[in-house]
Amino acid sequence: MAGQNSSQQDVVVNHIFDARRERVFKAWTDPKLVQRWWGPHGFTSPVCELDVRPGGAFRIHMQGPDGTIYPMIGVYREIVEPERLAFSNTPLDDKDNPLFEILTTVTFVERDGKTHVSVHNRILMTTPGAEMYLQGMEEGWSQSLECLEEIVMEKIA
């Protein structure tokens, strides 16, 4: 993807939640909740460590239905509760080498008791072999947000 203009490197996924934005924001910042929704359908997150503060690190391991672990690390760059989160995220290969780096900015806008969430992903760096992962990014985020919807609709979230 190197050499493409930024609009071709951006992936934006939007979702409307029938919940207040404080509740939706919390589901992005509480590790126990993030662990339950992060990843596409059929994936789990056996490791979910979040230090939610500017400069704080996170580590999430997604596990696919076949048992394959997909580790990811990142750093929170901006937190404006309950309006916006920005963080870098870097999936790692099986030798803990970066595959690519993305800057993700999540905005939360409440209208009429519903929260409009926009997940904007800007690809900052790629390595050979990253394309197969990047091709599924839009679908993966869409499915993750569907899982998140189930969490925010629960009475105990």
Query: pTM of the predicted model, to two decimals?
Result: 0.90
pLDDT at 155: 67
CA 145 to chain CA mean position, Å = 9
**Residue 26 corresponds to which tokens in the numbers above?**
């919390």
31 touches 47 (CB < 8 A): no
Q: Per-block average pLDDT, block size 10, for the chain (157 residues)?
A: 45 96 97 96 97 98 96 98 97 93 97 96 91 89 96 74
For residue 15, give Cα distances in angstroms to 19, 24, 25, 55, 57. Answer: 12, 11, 13, 27, 26
Domains and CATH numbers, the chain: 6-153 (3.30.530.20)
CA 116 to chain CA mean position, Å = 16
One-letter amino acid at 20 equals R
